[in-house]
Chain A
Amino acid sequence: DQQVKQNSPSLSVQEGRISILNCDYTNSMFDYFLWYKKYPAEGPTFLISISSIKDKNEDGRFTVFLNKSAKHLSLHIVPSQPGDSAVYFCAASGESNFGNEKLTFGTGTRLTIIP
Chain B
Amino acid sequence: GAGVSQSPSNKVTEKGKDVELRCDPISGHTALYWYRQSLGQGLEFLIYFQGNSAPDKSGLPSDRFSAERTGGSVSTLTIQRTQQEDSAVYLCASSQGGLSNEKLFFGSGTQLSVL
Contacts and interface: CB of A to CB of B under 8 A. Distances in A.
Chain B interface residue bracket vs A:
20 to 34
A51 B93 CA distance: 21
Contacts of B26: none
A interface, how many residues as a size bin? 20 to 34
Nearest to B3: A43
A101 interface: yes
A111 to B, nearest CB: 16
Contact of A93 (B91, B93, B100): B100
Given A99-B100, A105-B35, A4 B42 contact: yes
Contact of B108 (A32, A41, A97, A107): A41
B70 interface: no
Contacts, number: 75
A55 B59 CA distance: 30
Contact of A101 (B31, B40, B43): B31
B72 interface: no
A43 B4 contact: yes
Nearest to B92: A43
B104 interface: yes
B65 interface: no
A100 B98 contact: yes
B42 A43 contact: no
A106 B102 CA distance: 18
B102 A104 contact: no
A102 interface: yes
Nearest to A31: B100
Contacts of B102: 101
